[in-house]
Amino acid sequence: MNKTLVFGGSGQLGQCLQYVAQERSFIDIVFLPEEQANILNQETLRATFEQHRPAYIINCAAYTAVDKAEDEVDLVRKVNRDGAENLARLCGEFGTTMLHISTDFVFAGTGNEPLLETDETAPISVYGLTKLEGEQVIPTHTAQYFILRTSWLYSEYAGNFVKTMLRFGQEREEMRVIWDQLGTPTYAVDLAGALLHIIESGSTAYGLYHYSNEGVTSWYDFAVAIFELGGLPTRTVPIRTAEYPTKATRPAFSVMDKTKAKTALGLAIPHWRASLVECMGRLGEDSI
């Protein structure tokens, strides 16, 4: 029996996994209640592994408040590094395959070529650093892992850029949005589908992968597309990063090359705008 356990199931990606699993009739998957899903509680984690004996786990649990992370370094490291290590250690012990989510923030973002899995990492924020530390500690405990780096995650669930822009677009005549940070928006439903595809395929092509939607855009162009598809007349003004200072520094260029994921894992990856259209079609007024 190939049971899958999901940690962090109440977050954005976890909710997308619930949706996709139901759509695909992916039955043998358990979204753990909060009391069993604390990745920092080693005793509870061990009891959970002993109870379920999972073939796979998906770790969606992370500290993702990028700016707040600059002031809570110890807590961020506990969640993003130590939590990943706790899970990896048990996966190695129980023969469980670990699927783990990481981020484009492991890169400095100073280049202009699509980033490969083998490119040098140089995080410029606490969030990026601790996620990289999580990546690095997993292989020390298990060889059966898939780490997927993703970027600019959004969906109809939880809080994210798309829902924020739609809300502001209804409230404001003008939005000033950064145009000199380039990357790729990723529909979390697509990422959830990719994770379940890996499990369903039984792949043993373990390792580190990049997964985002296809294409390249800026936050400004992303916002323009959201307003356009949402039928909102909001005037969008492009600004430079320097005009909108934040506590944490973001990569200026974090477009990731997905060739490895497409060839080794057999993933078909849609363009970001096509996925945005799909998400917008499913967003109701009450979810904005």
Residues in the chain, total: 288
Burial of 37 (C-beta count, 10 Å sphere; 0-12/13-18/19+): buried
C-alpha 106: how far from chain center: 13
- Element of type H or E holding 88: helix 83-94
Running along the chain, 288 residues long, what does each successive block of 10 average in pLDDT? 90 96 93 89 95 97 96 97 98 98 98 97 98 98 98 96 96 96 98 97 98 98 97 96 96 98 98 97 68
pLDDT of residue 221: 98
| Concatenated DSSP letters of 16-70 | HHHHHHHHTT--SEEE--GGG--TT-HHHHHHHHHHH--SEEEE------HHHHT
pLDDT at 288: 53
For residue 61, the model assigns a pLDDT of 95
3-state helix, strand, coil in the chain (%, to 5): 45, 20, 40
Radius of gyration of the chain (CA): 19
Closest Cα to residue 287, out of 151, 119, 164?
164
- Its pTM stands at 0.96
Q: How far apart are CA 282 and CA 276, in angstroms?
A: 10
Domains in the chain and their CATH numbers? Answer: 4-287 (3.40.50.720)
At 208, give phi and psi (nearest 5°).
-100, 135
Which residues, at least 6 apart from 205, have a Cβ–Cβ distance to it below 8 Å?
264, 265
Rounded distance between C-alpha atoms, residue 167 and residue 86, angstroms: 38
- The question of whether 19 is a catalytic residue gets the answer no
Exposed/middle/buried for 50, CB within 10 Å: 0-12, 13-18, 19+? exposed
Identify which of 277, 283, 157 has the alpha carbon closest to the alpha carbon of residue 228: 277
Please check whether residue 108 is in contact with residue 161, taking contact to mean a CB–CB distance below 8 angstroms: no
Residue from 56, 63, 127, 220 carrying the catalytic annotation: 127
Residue from 81, 103, 115, 107 nearest 149 by CA: 103
**Calpha distance 248→109 (Å, rounded):** 13
Q: Contact 185/246 with Cβ under 8 angstroms?
A: no
